[in-house]
Amino acid sequence: MSTYTMQHNGTTPERNTVYALIYGSVMVLGLPLNVLSLWILLRYHSFTAPSIVFMVNLAISDLLLVISLPMRVYFHATGTWPLRSFACIFITMLFHNNIRSSSIFITFISMDRLLAVVYPLRSRHLRTLANAWKAVLLIWLFVLVLNVPESVLFSKSLNRINETNCFEFSYIPNPSVTPISFVHTALVLTLLTVNIVCTALVSWTLRRHLNESARVNNKVNVMVIFVMNLLMFTIFFLPVSLVVLFGSERHYRTPLVCLASMNCCLDPLLYYFSLDGFWKKKEDVEISLARE
């Protein structure tokens, strides 16, 4: 059964071993990094600014992805799926949710930095904890709503092939482009555009010093945040979204899915560069944030 599954999926045992090693490495790195980041954000920062609210939820999204990786490691290491189809669909939804929620939370972090640097005074009524929590609630609701039709579609695809294929069930030959594929890709492209615009506006403001009321302590760190966000989209989120939309051959998709899972290991760097006092006590951070 194991040999049949690998040949049926169009992958070799050697390639599946590589996938298992990569997922295992992401799990080993991503779990402690995100647990530590979440602990630091909650212990030292404690929702002192809207950006921290988005960062906490980004860390939670990454942890949800990490907990799904052990079964991906098992699948690629053995070529079989020991659980029922519901478990396969659930784990796959965690991965898709991570791409969507992570891309949205990263964009909101960029927008929050944009408002703080370019419009520090006029944006104070927008950059509130209440508005941040409302946005977070809507984001998770949007992500979960997309799961309903997507889960139904994946369930039908899984029933048409062998259940032991699990994570390859959505990559059947000549897959039809679904409305969810369009929504997913349009979302990623729209958010990428927003990040590009935010990067351009902040870069222009920092170079021209047009707004002296925006007290930026470390301009390099600010730009690193935006560059990291753009790299996250172009390397991890966009390729796998375009491949699914245009229905490319299956052997291109699994490597890109594997690549996209690595985003959870880099997000902790975003927290570090976003907060000058990442390792400081909460009282020091509140003073730093009050200066913005």
> Per-residue confidence at 231, pLDDT binned at 50, 70, 90?
very high
> Per-residue confidence at 170, pLDDT binned at 50, 70, 90?
very low
Contacts 24+ apart (CB under 8 A), 158-163: 158/85, 158/88, 158/89, 159/85, 161/8, 162/5, 162/8, 163/81, 163/84, 163/85, 163/88
Q: What local confidence, expressed as pLDDT, does residue 280 receive?
A: 54
Q: What local confidence, expressed as pLDDT, does residue 272 receive?
A: 78
Q: Enumerate domains of the chain plus CATH numbers.
A: 2-290 (1.20.1070.10)
Q: What share of the chain is helix, strand, coil (3-state, %, to 5)?
A: 80, 0, 20
Tokens describing residue 176? 């039809």
Name the average pLDDT for the chain. Answer: 81
How far is residue 292's CA from residue 284's CA, in Å, rounded to a whole number? 14
Which comes out higher in pLDDT, residue 171 or 138? 138
> Per-residue confidence at 276, pLDDT binned at 50, 70, 90?
low
Q: Is residue 9 predicted with pLDDT exceeding 60?
A: no
For residue range 119-163, what is the model confidence (pLDDT) as tens digits? 888 888 899 999 999 999 999 999 999 999 888 887 777 665 555
Exposed/middle/buried for residue 180 (C-beta within 10 Å: 0-12, 13-18, 19+) = middle
Tokens describing residue 63? 């942890």
State mean pLDDT over 40-55: 88
